[in-house]
A and B are shown apart, each in its own frame.
Chain A
Amino acid sequence: MLELRSVTRAYELGGERAGVFDVSLSVPQGCLAVLAGPSGSGKTTLLQLAGLLDTPDEGEVLLEGKNVSALAEPARCHLRLRRLGFVFQAANLVPVLSALENVMLPLQLQGCGEIEARRRAEAALLRVGLADRLHHRPGQLSGGQQQRTAIARALAPEPLLVLADEPTAALDHAHGGPLLDLMAELAAEQGVTFLVASHDPSVIARAHRVFRLADGRLVGEDAP
């Protein structure tokens, strides 16, 4: 499903060379994979490369067997819109839109009609337990509810791969657990692939595969 081949992306941070270096990994379809490691280990950089938000200096990113790292920006945008979903550490919802409208947004950008987008957005919000918060603006939702809305937004367009950066960092255990259960369920039932950057043990515990990073390098791979 997703494969990184000898990927390197270096940048200067505080006068030092940081980033990821010569990382190769493979995530099969329907897998809940976790990039684990301490802060600064390169988890977010690797996630951004896998999510086509950034371009590697060296190496290749393959999605469904095709090298997508050298694609032009319009083609990358198209892939992100149609195939990928993102969940950020902070929910990053559009503050002027309601929860429902936030989830409808990527669907409408795909060209989905108003009624169909609404139906699918409502279903996604129902799935994350926010059926009673459809018309609330982000400012009227708790941190957990915002994050669940962000997950609904990522899942509603039915992507092949969801990239999540510390999705439970802003949530307490009571809210984080069900969210991870949902991801595992979607991976198992619908074949959605998840690549999650996290150092949360509860996330790692649910993972099908764990890639351990340190100083920008892949130092280990577990299949718990």
Chain B
Amino acid sequence: MILARLALRNLLRQRRRTALTLLVVVAGFLALSLAGGFMAQTFQGLSDGAIRGGLGHLQILPPGALDGNEAQSLEKALPDGEALAATLRRDPAVAEVLPRISFMGLLSNGPKSVAFLGTAVDPVLEPRHMASAEALKDGAKALGGAGSRWLGADPAAREVILGVGLARALGATVGSSLTLMSTTRDGALNAVDVDVVGLQDLGLRELNDRFLTVSLSTAGQLLDAGPARSRLSLILKRPGDVEAEQARLQARLPETTVKPWFELASFYRQVKLLYFAIFGFMGLVLFFVVLLATVNTLLMSVMERVREFGVLRAMGLQPRQLLVLLQWEGAFLGLFGSALGLAATLLLRAGLNALHLQMPAPPGTSHGYELNIHLVPAVYLFVALGLQATLQVSALFPGLKAARLRIVEALRHV
């Protein structure tokens, strides 16, 4: 412990220099931990968007549904999806099962027809678990979207909700009557007249230009679907158990494919990889900045203490003990730097979040979001450990230099 005490005193010897080095460590901690909090917000937003955008926690798909054309027709379907949904609703881990039909076709206002991608959902269950209401709220603000509402529960109602871009392409507004055209399971052409009851803004321009939602009964009539469903979205009671439940349900339903949401949300995976690459690069740059700053400080400190090290060695201090002494100095710089960095991070995070800053819409999306840097203790721990390791590495070179000093030369040093 005497070496630790000596190291601490040594850091207080040149207070201004130590303070500057600490400032570099604090800045490194601040940059990485705030970036980590921002990433956590982004990942949370993207995962919520994917799960509540229709994927649920798990998806039950027909075998081969993900091969080739992604189940945009009932060619590949769960033949009795409704019965399977009813069975799964009795599973103790499952909170709800939302059957869906994915289909495509043409939407016509008479003179003009536009291709669409459609999803048929249960009009009663869907709004309870998915973000349909939020999309409608944003759609209601669009041109012709006033009075937007969700699909009626009456199975006889023939209603549609259009993406804002699709509505614009056809000049449709809430209250317009349109015709949905598609092919049945047998390949026959079929059409159903529908009333537009709402517009939805899904956040992505490409989706808004093509996407529409109808009830399962409307799609059933159009596609002659019967009990067939393209997929089932499962909402779990414990969202943290996704991987375990996937394995269990896959074993229970070998004739289907059970996929977790994150394997299907390719955008989420791509953004995550991109952010990790950016974070990694930033970490590498900061690693070198902190490394250079602390090596410089400790090296200067060694050069100023050559004679003192000579005396300590003459007193019987082993060369490796000088190495340990310098390691202690690096350790204290890391410890204090991380502690101050954590305090600065918490303060700045609270300040930035209190400002309710609006971030611009990310590329490909139609609206921005409020900055809310998350509190992520695991990131703070990771950053602190990374900085600590950097400081221990930076203390190595000056430590070796001190340990290799020849005593008689060190004692002559002026």
Contact = CB atoms under 8 A, between A and B. Distances in A.
B13 interface: yes
A94 B411 contact: no
B316 interface: yes
Interface in B1-24: 2, 6, 9-10, 12-13
A80 B316 contact: yes
Interface string A83-100: 010101000101111000
B407 A81 contact: no
Interface string B99-136: 00000000000000000000000000000000000000
Contacts of A51: 314
B297 to A, nearest CB: 16
A96 B314 contact: no
B266 interface: no
Nearest to A104: B2
Contact of A53 (B2, B308, B317, B408): B408
Q: What 4 A-B pairs have minimum CB-CB distances, sorted nearest first?
A: A81-B316, A96-B9, A80-B316, A108-B2
Contacts of B376: none
Contacts of B2: 105, 108-109
Contacts of A88: 311, 411
Nearest to A45: B408
Interface residues of A, number: 25
A141 interface: no
A151 B349 CA distance: 56
8 contacts: A48-B407, A73-B319, A77-B313, A81-B315, A92-B311, A94-B311, A96-B12, A106-B315
B366 interface: no
Contacts of A109: 2, 315-317, 321
Contacts of B318: 73-74, 77
B70 to A, nearest CB: 70
A73 to B, nearest CB: 7
A145 to B, nearest CB: 17
Interface in A88-129: 88, 92, 94-97, 105-106, 108-110
A92 B412 CA distance: 11
Contacts of B411: 53, 88, 92
Interface in B395-410: 407-408
B407 A53 contact: yes
Nearest to A150: B311
A193 to B, nearest CB: 17
B388 to A, nearest CB: 24
B250 to A, nearest CB: 62
Contacts of A221: none
B316 A78 contact: yes
A5 interface: no
B231 interface: no
B315 A80 contact: yes
Contact of B315 (A48, A73, A74, A86): A86
Given A54-B407, A77-B313, A96-B6, 19 more contacts: A48-B408, A51-B314, A53-B408, A53-B411, A73-B319, A80-B314, A81-B315, A86-B314, A92-B307, A92-B308, A92-B310, A94-B308, A94-B311, A95-B13, A96-B12, A97-B9, A106-B315, A108-B2, A109-B317
B255 to A, nearest CB: 72
Contact of A97 (B6, B315, B316, B317): B6
Nearest to B10: A96
A157 B312 CA distance: 14
Contacts of B319: 73
B316 A82 contact: yes
A94 B6 contact: yes
Contacts of B321: 109
Contacts of B311: 86, 88, 92, 94
A97 B9 CA distance: 8
Contacts of A106: 315-316
A29 B376 CA distance: 67
B267 to A, nearest CB: 57
A224 B13 CA distance: 47
B390 to A, nearest CB: 25
Nearest to A74: B318
A52 to B, nearest CB: 9
B9 A105 contact: no
B315 to A, nearest CB: 5
Nearest to A111: B2
Contact of A105 (B10, B310, B314, B315): B315
Interface in A11-54: 48, 51, 53-54
Residue of A82, A88, A96 ringed by the most chain B CB atoms within 10 A: A96
A73 B321 CA distance: 13
A77 B13 contact: no
A95 B308 CA distance: 9
